[in-house]
Amino acid sequence: MTTIAIETPLGPSRVTVHAAADPLAVLLLGHGAGGGINAFDLVTLADALPSRGVAVALHEQPWRVAGKRIGSRPPTLDQGWRPALDWAAGEYPGLPLWVGGRSAGARVACRCFDERQAGVVCLAFPLHPPGKPEASRVAELASVAGPVLVLQGERDPFGSPDEVRAAAEKFRSVDAPSVELVETSGAVRPTSASSTSDPQRLMQIVTMPGTHSFNRRADVRKRIVEAVAGFVGV
């Protein structure tokens, strides 16, 4: 495990790299607005994926590195994330760069997606504030020009799996991409698999036990790992 400081316009951010011996891909993940990289799902992926050939880099926003307790506004979060994208692309040239994060970190990854990145992993995408479904953030999620995996708690007050699917289907109906709701087994086929839809526009939604923070049982941890590993094709 290696920790690297990355300069941003807002001060230093930080990535903690869990290296793979012979990496096939890299996964850059950000944290949520109310916590850091010690979130159990981020730790679960960082512990499990390197042995499968995926280097996992956990990114800490400048506000978190500075010791603040409250997250920044979306435009500021994006400023803190983009230098980490540049670092990852330069550090792992030629490897598929997958990105994502937990909650607010997933929003950042969706907003900043570009052609250098292979796809987005969203751990509990906050579709709307609790009790305010009219304040939808679906545009951030459904505008990603690449494959997306959403792991969503079945009782998430920020948006259930069915809410996420319905909103994404409605938003993306113009060019009719596929939106799949995967059962709680967490089995996700690689995005390179044959499909009637364009795999580069495929969104897969996995229903997870629990709420916005998921259930922390051992079987749930396994589902998280298997879903993400299947999505990135390892």
What pLDDT score was predicted for residue 78?
97
3-state secondary structure of 145: coil
The answer to whether 116 touches 89, Cβ cutoff 8 Å, is yes
What pLDDT score was predicted for residue 196?
42
What pLDDT score was predicted for residue 34?
84
DSSP-derived pairing of the beta strands 11-18 and 2-8: antiparallel
Residue 62 amino acid letter: P
What pLDDT score was predicted for residue 195?
41
Whole-angstrom Cα distance, residue 33 to residue 170?
27
The answer to whether 162 touches 169, Cβ cutoff 8 Å, is no
pLDDT tens, position by position, for the chain (234 residues)? 899 999 999 999 999 999 999 999 999 999 999 889 999 999 999 999 999 999 999 999 999 999 988 888 899 999 999 999 999 999 999 999 999 999 999 999 999 999 999 999 999 999 999 999 999 999 999 999 999 999 999 999 999 999 999 999 888 765 555 688 787 666 676 765 334 455 566 899 999 999 999 999 999 999 999 999 999 998
Buried b (16+ CB within 10 A) or exposed e, 141-177: bbebebbbbbbbbeebebbbbebbbbbbbebbeeeeb
Q: Tokens 């113009």 map to which residue? A: 174
Range list of H helices, the chain: 40-48, 62-65, 74-91, 104-111, 138-142, 161-171, 218-232
pTM over 0.85: yes
For the segment 155-209, what is each residue's pLDDT rounded down to a tens digit? 999 999 999 999 998 887 655 556 887 876 666 767 653 344 555 668 999 999 9
3-state secondary structure of 91: helix
Whole-angstrom Cα distance, residue 224 to residue 45?
8
